[in-house]
Structure 1
């Protein structure tokens, strides 16, 4: 009998504790809910108050509050014009001015690039002119050499047909020494040897020395 009474007492105590714990949780949840509602009311009240100040400029606080909010993320860029107390026309004019500056900077960059391209183009044109000039000079020298060679070959044919003694005299009377050497180089070996044998020994030796570097076999044909 006493044991049954004790068990009932324990059950009542457990139920009482559970009920008390549940009440505490409910009270805590109710408190948080109330606190959340208060915060929402405060935020909404602040927004309404700030909106009224910005719209109606109550007590002239619009500019001061805008200045205070300039450093806040997101809304800072929005309220900055208000903090500076600028009209929509002024704001638009500033935006246009910024765009104009950006365009001017871009134009300057483009002009600089264009100048660089023109400078490179001018440099390339100058190099092309120099190359063309060198090519013309080379072609002129080649043409002169061809003319000179043609003249030499004509003289060679003329000397080939002449009497040996007379041919030797003609060569000795020529003023251009290099022409004499060229003629002797292009004559037939026996004809060149015969002509040199009719010359003064000293003159013949000089001619042989000049011919020695390019036509060593000619010297051997001439010498006894």
Structure 2
């Protein structure tokens, strides 16, 4: 897992697929979406959070309302319970160890640690990555998460997720510039809605969904975390 010199180039090679490469009939953060990335050679962006027993689940929302129409939170359910659920009536929830096996070091993984999370989640994620020699980076909105990662594993790529208020972009930029002095991220991930300027640090833009978003993002950023990118621009499939 350890690399003495950080390899950051892959972050800017080609678009990073937001929650997997989702095409018609696919569900975010599921086996089909992840394997589609492997098949077509795109990096995966995914989310991790705890289940009831502190196993790492690849799931964005804190609850199952949107994808399973269940008023239940991930943190309150065991692996056995979560594995019985079908997202949008058809797909199983994927655990992080399963994702690593699916990817098998073939494409990079950009991992977002969801919060609020217990402060043990960074250590558990690093333990899960022991022996995994594929390319990966970890990002979070929570600055404390990045500080803990810096102490636990200074050699891994760390990214600070930022949501800029489009009505106060410069105030927000100053705030995050101050925060970044403590977190020392290797890169930033900035929302496309609030994007109005470039950064000194290497920067990803999320979540790009249209060609218009793409053009705006590439004016200020080094790469995109995107959906639907096979439908527009230079990435359009023929």
Structure-1-length-normalised TM-score = 0.21
Higher RCO by CA contacts (8 Å cutoff, separation 6 or greater): 2
Structure-2-length-normalised TM-score = 0.20
Query: Which structure has the highest strand share of the two?
Result: 2
Query: Which structure has the highest helix share of the two?
Result: 1
